[in-house]
Amino acid sequence: YFLKINNSTCFRYIELSNGLKALLISDLTQSESNREPVAKEEEDSGEEEDGDSESTNEDSNCVNKCSEGVKKNCRSEKQSAAALCISVGSFSDPADLPGLAHFLEHMVFMGSEKYPAENGFDAFLKKHGGSDNASTDCERTIFKFDVQRKYLREALDRWVQFFIGPLMIPDAVDREVEAVDSEYQMAQPLDSNRKEMLFGGLAKAGHPMSKFFWGNAQTLKNEPREKNIDTYERLREFWRRYYSAHYMTLAVQSKETLDNLEEWVRAICIKIPNNGQPRADFSDLQDPFDTPDFNKLYRVVPVRKIHALTISWALPPQDKHYRVKPLHYISWLIGHEGAGSVLSLLRKKCWALALFGGNSESGFDQNTTYSIFSVSITLSDEGFQNFFQVIHIVFQYLKMLQSVGPQQRIYEEIQKIEANEFHYQEQMEPIEFVANICENMQLFPKEDFLRGDQLMFEYNPEVISAPLTLLTPATANILLLSPEHDGRCPLNEKWFGTQYSVEGNPPPQRIWEKCGFVFRDPPVITHLNKFIYINLKLMFIIIIKLILKFYAVLVKILKKRIILVLFDLFVNILAHNLAEPAYDADVAQLEYMLFPGDHGLFIRLKGFNHKLPLLLNLIVDHLANFSTAPNVFSMYIEQLKKTYYIILIKPDRLGRDVRLQILEHHRWSVMQKYEAIMADLGVTDLMDFVNRFKAELFVEGLIQGNFTSYIVNVLRYIIMSPPAEPPVLFRVVELPQTHHLCKVQSLNKADANSEVTVYYQTGLKNLREHTLMELLVMHMEEPCFDFLRTKETLGYQVYPSCRNTSGVLGFSVTVETQATKFSTDFVEGKIEAFLVSFGEKMVNLSDEAFQTQVTALIKLKECEDTQLGEEVDRNWFEVVTQQYVFDRLNKEIEVLKNVTKDELVSFFMEHRHASSRKLSIHVCYLFDTERKTSSYGDVSELIFLPASPVLAKASRITDIRAFTSSLNLHPYHKILQ
């Protein structure tokens, strides 16, 4: 055994004669030993792409897992999983075929010599509760899948055939190019991708960083044909050259014995060919950014209306220093948010909302040719006006760090924090765990496969000082994003069309010296003293939901959309007020999240139980004593405008907003909130709202895990009993028995993507029919992908969904497509054609295929929770919707055990007639035939579009309020039995 943990999880490392290296993981843990509870990470609404938040009313996870109360009735079994990493990526793309590595990652899945069905592997996985995915990075490509344990060996054999004998037939090549092109077009409107492409373009000619990694129809189909390049043959050549066993590392995890796993891997994977050629090596290349073009100030027009500053340095490769992790030490100090930090000073000046400093330690940020260190700051409007002073502050902090040098005291505290996080970390889903491990196997010696990416092993001041001394103004690249640059940037990046301009940086010495020493010492590090936690094996999560006391009051408030804006402002500013005092708790692994939901404030905490009450008390105190300064209020008014704008310019988010505005009575749309925030609001308005909110407050909560009576006492401090049960659901309209179409124009001038969602409303149904809907959608997933994406190539994202909209059931099919290729009306016609073909398939479904899918869904519901957070999220949904069916999974399993094929087919056919309650939502990109005066569109009103003759029979919705005002409303409904 390579390693044994708790006498239940065993590891074995083997090397096959063809050069493939494998780590076998026998996970024999039972559910009782599986209780390290950590919830999923929450989305950061400040710096990430959309900034919106989750809904508790609709689209919850339908394929739930077992609650603790019914574990004894379930077979505690995890999914089995495997992942393979190949040490080749986009750096190896040939110069005349940009994106070939990414394209090959797509193509190997299109059938094999042994299993020639084009979509056969996906179909096999869907039948047995599995999934798969793949990704291409600069120097590595990763493939992964999971499946029920019983079918692991067969799945492994089918999967490995892609590396033994993929078909890659010419017809599939031509079609899959369109999927790659759709993926590229979906990536275009994301600022993170645009920054990366612009940054890569600064590399020296001939360096692989300057390549176009994504690939599209132009580089993989059109230009090759013009140049008589045989893309099909070049794909096979690339596969033969790089998809070689000696480049591969494999990780397999299952509740199988190690002997069984080894037998299977040796029997199947030994057939992967080894071409014997030396491994691709780019480490001898010089610094790609050692060029005059790098050390400049670049002004860039973003897609989102944000101000952002990124200061970057290209450093020598740091992967060999993984035991010291010098960039992690530096980034920990740069990214500190407590007293004495860069962000603390910028927040006090109201110049910044967020700061990230560091390196992701993979891919674009770190490879064998260089490592990038970046400081990225989300600026306020005032911060943008003073961005040079912001740069000065960052440089002065770096100058201070260089002056005092590395500090062993600080390093050892970070080391201790990382060690605690490693030893008491949450369990990962098997598919993610094996994907992480197989990549680690490419980077670290075998004794560090499990820990090399997480632990800091040894303090070495010389190793830390080497990159730290290079972080100077003279070697920095400065990237400034702002909508203020619109119309002022004459240059365009080749692939994503990003508008930018270039100017020389101010004299480096002025930046270095101008402000003197703003910082004289690193921040005082006291996390382990103030929020020290004891080494308990068990952790716990506490979730509290705060909502208004009376639903009648809530309805009254919701009639004033300005109140919802004030509520969003309140939560954002409360989080701002907490950021610095709660930061010590955050780095000591006590986490919290504040979230403005549809009906109230959500507070979520997780971490070790020893000091979590301190954090809870801190949050409650700030809530009870809430106040804000005028400059902070103004900063968040402007930021919230940007947040609403970011949501509205995304076709999928706009489509969801329109659909729910039609379906849910009294829901105010994001667009209406955007209009409301343009009103003249002041601090007095906010404080009046907050005082009313606190006066009408009651608490409903869920505590789960290793909690103590002290925590319950803390809760009693803030809980008030409601006089009556307040409904938390919206009332949902009953759609007419005909087809209605709401077709609106996309609000993003820079995004050529469109979206079509076709929704069928079922109505008020019970638990049995909800379970039938889950089963129906599960049957639909693979045929939907095969028909709409693989064969029709309509877009990269196509999927069916089970819809539970405030207790009203339905299902939908969504296609995210490109206006450059298809009209939304054409796409809807193809969705309808798919549903017709799917209906025929269901009628002819064999009893065996039906029962296989039923068994797969039962197994998913029986599958044990990897983290306590999964169980908490499931239970919390019951609490927040006030349904309280905590044994729902057990009830659904019992339904599945006696459901019949005829019942399922009849259930689907209810939707397939002229009187179906059908609603189509189209978000359409329209090409601007006139010269653009601005990159930004107006998001203050919906523009309704006419349908083509293809959909002439559909009734158009051109005024949502007028349409819904005449419709009946379903009563409040909960799916209880």
Compare 694 and 46 and report the one with higher pLDDT. 694
Confidence at 101, pLDDT banded by 50, 70, 90: very high
Residue 422 lies in a domain: no
Secondary structure class of 714 (helix, strand, coil): helix
Answer yes or no: do 713 and 738 share one domain.
no
- Give 766-799 pLDDT, tens digit per residue: 999 999 999 999 999 999 999 999 999 999 999 9
Is pLDDT at 218 greater than 60 in this prediction?
yes
Residue 504 lies in a domain: yes
- Distance in angstroms (rounded) separating the CA atoms of residues 690 and 577: 15
Answer yes or no: do 490 and 624 share one domain.
no
* In 514-560, alpha helices (H): 527-530, 551-558
- Residue carrying structure tokens 């920095």: 476
- Give 908-942 pLDDT, tens digit per residue: 998 888 889 999 999 999 876 554 567 788 898 99
Answer yes or no: do 827 and 946 share one domain.
yes
What's this model's pTM, rounded to 2 decimal places? 0.90
Range 63-83 average pLDDT: 55
Tell me which of 19-33, 444-458, 628-642 is least confident.
19-33
pLDDT on residue 74: 43
Range 221-248 average pLDDT: 96
Confidence at 274, pLDDT banded by 50, 70, 90: very high
pLDDT on residue 390: 95
pLDDT on residue 548: 32
- Give 361-415 pLDDT, tens digit per residue: 777 889 999 999 999 999 999 999 999 999 999 999 999 999 999 999 999 999 9
Answer yes or no: do 689 and 760 share one domain.
no
Range 345-360 average pLDDT: 94
Q: What is the mean pLDDT of the chain?
A: 86
Residue 486 lies in a domain: yes
As to burial, measured by CB atoms within 10 angstroms (0-12 exposed, 13-18 middle, 19+ buried), residue 432 is middle
Helix axes 630-648, 670-677, angle to 10 degrees: 150
Cβ atoms of residues 102 and 180 within 8 Å: yes
**What count of residues does the chain have?**
977
Active site residue 105: yes
Residue 485: domain span: 297-406+459-513
The DSSP-derived string for 905-970 is HHHHHTTSSTT--EEEEEEE-----SPPS-S----SS--B-PPPGGGTTSEE-S-HHHHHHTS-BP
- Distance in angstroms (rounded) separating the CA atoms of residues 143 and 434: 10
Q: Which residues in 21-51 are b (16+ Cβ under 10 Å) and which e?
A: bbbbbbbebebeebbbbbbeeeeebbbeebb
Is pLDDT at 533 greater than 90 in this prediction?
no
Domain boundary among 692, 718, 744: 718
- Distance in angstroms (rounded) separating the CA atoms of residues 294 and 370: 14
Percent over 90 (pLDDT), the chain:
67
Answer yes or no: do 352 and 385 share one domain.
yes
The residues, ordered by sequence, that sit 6+ positions from 233 with a Cβ below 8 Å of its Cβ are none
End-to-end Cα distance, the chain:
49
Compare 709 and 355 and report the one with higher pLDDT. 355
Structural domain total, the chain: 4
pLDDT on residue 611: 76
Cβ atoms of residues 515 and 392 within 8 Å: yes
Helix axes 408-423, 326-334, angle to 10 degrees: 100
DSSP single-letter state for residue 222 = I
Secondary structure class of 274 (helix, strand, coil): coil
Confidence at 50, pLDDT banded by 50, 70, 90: very low
The DSSP-derived string for 357-384 is EE--SSTTTB-SS-EEEEEEEEE-HHHH
Answer yes or no: do 260 and 348 share one domain.
no
Is pLDDT at 543 greater than 50 in this prediction?
no
CATH number, position 337? 3.30.830.10
- Residue carrying structure tokens 């010492």: 521
Answer yes or no: do 471 and 399 share one domain.
yes
- Give 576-622 pLDDT, tens digit per residue: 999 999 998 888 888 888 888 877 788 888 877 777 778 888 988 99
> Which H, E and C letters describe 100-168, residue by residue?
HHHHHHHHCCCCECCCCCCCHHHHHHHHCCCEEEEEECCCCEEEEEEECHHHHHHHHHHHHHHHHCECC
Catalytic residue, candidates 42, 54, 105, 447: 105
Range 719-735 average pLDDT: 68
Tell me which of 203-207, 328-332, 835-839 is least confident.
203-207
- Distance in angstroms (rounded) separating the CA atoms of residues 277 and 237: 13
Is pLDDT at 554 greater than 50 in this prediction?
no
pLDDT on residue 18: 97
**Nearest CA among 865, 150, 83 for reference residue 432:** 83
The residues, ordered by sequence, that sit 6+ positions from 615 with a Cβ below 8 Å of its Cβ are 531, 582, 585, 590, 592, 605, 607
Cβ atoms of residues 141 and 94 within 8 Å: no
- Pairing, β 248-254 against β 21-27: parallel
Range 502-524 average pLDDT: 63
Answer yes or no: do 816 and 667 share one domain.
no
Dihedral in degrees, nearest 10, Cα atoms 168, 172, 178, 182: -70
Domain boundary among 697, 718, 739: 718
Residue 87 lies in a domain: yes
| CA 582 vs CA 215, 585, 591: distances in Å | 44, 5, 9
Answer yes or no: do 629 and 692 share one domain.
yes
Residue 452 lies in a domain: no
Confidence at 129, pLDDT banded by 50, 70, 90: very high
Secondary structure class of 546 (helix, strand, coil): strand
> Which H, E and C letters describe 609-634, residue by residue?
CCCHHHHHHHHHHHHHCCCCCHHHHH
Answer yes or no: do 738 and 845 share one domain.
yes
- Distance in angstroms (rounded) separating the CA atoms of residues 355 and 665: 39
Residue 425 lies in a domain: no
Cβ atoms of residues 730 and 665 within 8 Å: yes
pLDDT on residue 768: 94
Domain boundary among 230, 253, 270: 270
Is pLDDT at 40 greater than 50 in this prediction?
no
Residue 67 lies in a domain: no
Answer yes or no: do 738 and 710 share one domain.
no
Answer yes or no: do 362 and 483 share one domain.
yes
Q: How many CB atoms lie within 10 A of CB 484?
A: 15
Residue 790 lies in a domain: yes
DSSP strands (E only) in 28-66 = none
- Distance in angstroms (rounded) separating the CA atoms of residues 186 and 194: 12
Phi-psi category of residue 93: left, alpha or beta, with phi > 0 → left and psi -120 to 50 → alpha: beta
- Give 152-183 pLDDT, tens digit per residue: 999 999 999 999 999 999 989 989 999 999 99
Confidence at 290, pLDDT banded by 50, 70, 90: confident
